[in-house]
Each structure stands twice: as C-alpha cells, then as structure tokens.
Amino acid sequence: MQRLSSKLALLYGEPTHWCPGCKMLHRIDVSQPNSHTGAKWTWNNDLVNPSFSPSINIVGQCHYFINNGQIQFCGDSKHELAGQTVPLPDLPNEEVEDWV
C-alpha cells in the first residue's frame, strides 16, 4: 500500500481510507469499475479533504458519503456511527505498515 496523505493510501491502485465505524480499511474504485458490483466512483483528487460520489455501500455493513473530508454515515450502517457525520480519520500506522 502506498500512502498518499495522512488520510488516504492506494490499495491495488485505488484510494483507500480507514472507516472508524467498521474499524477497517475501505477501498473506493475510481479508476476502474469494481470487479464484484461494476460500480465506479468519482473523486475530487483532494488528499486532505476528499469527496467521493456516489455513496459507498458495503452491503449489510456500512453505507456512507464522503464529502469535503467528512464521513456521513447513513442510518442503515450496522455500527455505532450510523446516522452520524465524523471527520475522515487519519490512517492507523499499523494498518498501513501491514500492507506495505
């Protein structure tokens, strides 16, 4: 994994962030469609306050928007941050180092 900023890294060529609700990394496919769903997102290329569109939906687990560096969790997310908006957190060092 290549670190892009304190908040984003590249995993398999796609921007990846730490989800504080799921407590794991989530990759967002912006350059090629997702191999499972065919979905593809747009990204404003901002490394500090990124925005992605449309919403990211890890079906049955986590559903959210990332706008201007804020994660807006939808009410159907299955964790304690459902319905809340929180700043996009920094990547945990140990997670990034595990992927390098």
- 56 close to 63: Cβ distance less than 8 angstroms: yes
Q: Nearest 5 degrees, angle CA 43-CA 20-CA 31?
A: 20
Q: What integer pLDDT is reported at residue 61 of this predicted model? A: 95
For the chain of 100 residues, list the mean pLDDT of each consecutive stretch of 10.
93 95 95 87 96 94 98 97 98 66
pTM of the model: 0.89
Query: What tokens does 83 get?
Result: 């319905």
Locus of tokens 């990846």: 16
* E strand residue ranges, the chain: 2-3, 9-11, 14-19, 24-27, 42-43, 52-58, 62-67, 70-73, 85-87
Q: What integer pLDDT is reported at residue 100 of this predicted model? A: 45
Q: What integer pLDDT is reported at residue 97 of this predicted model? A: 56
